[in-house]
Amino acid sequence: MASATAHSVSPLIAPLSVANGLTLEHRITLCALTRLRNDPVTECPRAVNAEYYAQRASKGGLLVAEAAYVRRDGRGYLRAPGLETDEQAATWRPVTDAVHAKGGVMFAQLFHAGRESHPALTGGDMVCASAVRARGQVYVGTSKGMKEDYGMPRELSTAEVEAMPAVFAAAAKRAVELGGFDGVEMHAGNGYLLQAFLARATNTRTDKYGGTIANRARLLLETIDAVAAAIGPSRTAVKIQPGVTFSDLIEPEADVAETLDYLAPELSRRRLAYVCNSSLNGANYWRVVGLPGPNVSFDPWARFRQAGFTGTHMINGGLSIEEGERYVAEGVADLVSYGVPFIANANLRDLVAAGARTADLNPGGWNAAVWYSLDPSNDAKGYTDWPLQDPAEVSGKAVALASA
């Protein structure tokens, strides 16, 4: 019989110095989750959004807000926010204040939807790396069932691409100065514009932004540099997602390896707050997109480290608590980004600190019916109304198991 009288401390519950003057108290982060519960008219955050993020905030814990578009032609969803204007940015201040009141840290996520949109959402114009249309449909009306096929984007001119980093930089300044965010994360995944330039399938250009991986990564790196120049590299982060996406973009293994191997040293030398390396190659995801197995045969997180990334490495993609602990303990990851587990377990940090295993968590977040809201009058359902599990009860279970 084991003699332990208490559970061991999770590797996820350990402090981490992330950037200049920024220390996190633990390694559990909330990834950006599009929940479509902003104001139905302005699409700006309101009281229910502030409540949602405050519920998930913890002392020294990092939250990443839902993706916000940087320009109207990059809008990809109904009731998702923007950071295109000063007015939009200012509406985030009550949200970040609520998170800061609990000692939390909050980054905005910036994106341009690119081809993952529809003219009804963008106001007419749709742009991308190349004129390659996405298969699938997107909601374009507030009523359930009002979907349309993705629109056909036009290819951005070279001059237009060259101007794009300044658009992201301006949104980043708004987020920090007016919205009260501690930094920003640029979304270079999900088939959005920045990933569309990285991926061969969506980038058939022949100018300096197409062809080789160095050219295809040019816009991403120029955008990162512009944002870092505007708000500082210690406030700048990026999310990459080579491989499987839910946006009609599945990259072959060779391309995933090429992207990771090229970006690892490039991003390392920029000394960013962190790089979120998201992989949807796990079973929870490749089955959803109809693949017979994982899209890559190697571990994308370990490969990124082996390819030379020495900065703060956040990993994301269907990870269990146990898997997250292992990656941190092995030194592959510094931070573990959770999405679905946070939906129904707002106090996830406290539960893990008390010894919770994945099986101890409320699995309600895996019900896709609660992810988005099509009814503004019922936005709280599946959003802020989850009952909190008492960490003391979890701790008692953990002690009992350790003593068995």
Average pLDDT over residues 303-327: 97
d(CA 322, CA 1): 23
pLDDT at 113: 98
3-state SS track over 281-299: CCHHHHCCCCCCCCCCCCC
d(CA 341, CA 363): 7
pLDDT at 294: 84
Contact assessment for residue 291 and residue 246, using Cβ atoms and an 8 Å cutoff: no
DSSP one-letter code for 249:
-
d(CA 64, CA 314): 12
Q: What is the pTM of this model?
A: 0.95
Residue 402 vs residue 387, higher pLDDT: 387
Q: Is the pLDDT of residue 49 over 50?
A: yes
Supply the angle between the helices 158-177 and 218-231 in degrees, to the nearest 10: 30
Contacts by 214-218 with C-beta closer than 8 Å and gap 24+?
Answer: 214/262, 217/259, 217/262, 217/263, 217/266
Residue type, 71: R
Q: Is the pLDDT of residue 397 over 90?
A: no
pLDDT tens-digit series, residues 127-174: 999 999 999 999 998 565 689 999 999 999 999 999 999 999 999 999
| Alpha-carbon separation of residue 217 from 121, 139, 170, 195, 214 (angstroms) | 27, 30, 21, 9, 5
| Token pair for 142 | 């507030």
For the domain 16-403, what is the CATH superfamily, name and number?
Aldolase class I (3.20.20.70)
pLDDT at 4: 36
